[in-house]
Amino acid sequence: MTVALYDDNAEVPWRRISPRLASARRIGLLLAYLPFLLATAVLAATVSRWLWGLPGVVAALFLWQFWLIGRQVSAISYAELPEEIVIRRGRLFRRLVSIPYGRLQYADMGSGPLERHFGLASVTIHTASPASGGRVPGLELPAAEALRERLTARGEAQRAGL
């Protein structure tokens, strides 16, 4: 049976990540853009009034990326299938990663300061090949711990041939 993994109406039980990840990423974006916005504003105020286009460009880029973060986060989901975990992301440039449990070496969980503030964590799946791993960001802390435990148990069971 073939299942279209990008189709939202398919039989795959997709799980979405927390929308609070967008807030965490947007705060990080603000912290990254604020020095550039202030520097260009000071430059425009002290050198020439013709340079006020620079802060406008920086602000426009910030607003575009602010909007884009919401779209990106809402496009991330994952599904735990009987033989594999599938992670999909992207709207324009779609990416689908399928990791068989038998190839899974270990899964670890991590979170940065902003993620911890929002009660979120990411689960990173490691395989023998660095190119075939995956990451599920923006999970609530209990869900991330449970996913890591399930993946570890399924990986051990598949490697043991059960």
Question: Which pLDDT value is given to residue 80?
Answer: 93
CATH number for the domain formed by residue range(s) 77-159: 2.30.29
Q: What is the pLDDT of residue 54?
A: 93
Q: Can you read off the two tokens belonging to residue 20? A: 């609070």
Q: Across residues 90-96, what is the average pLDDT?
A: 91
Q: What tens digit of pLDDT does each residue of 57-88 get?
A: 999 999 999 999 999 999 999 999 989 999 99
Three-state DSSP class for 110? strand
Cα torsion 52, 53, 58, 61: sign: positive
Question: What is the rounded distance in angstroms from the CA atom of residue 139 to the CA atom of residue 21?
Answer: 8
From the CA atom positions of the chain, what is the Rg in Å? 20
The pTM score is 0.84
Q: How is the chain split into domains, by residue range? A: 20-72, 77-159
pLDDT tens digits along 109-161: 999 999 999 999 999 999 888 777 899 999 999 999 999 999 999 888 877 66
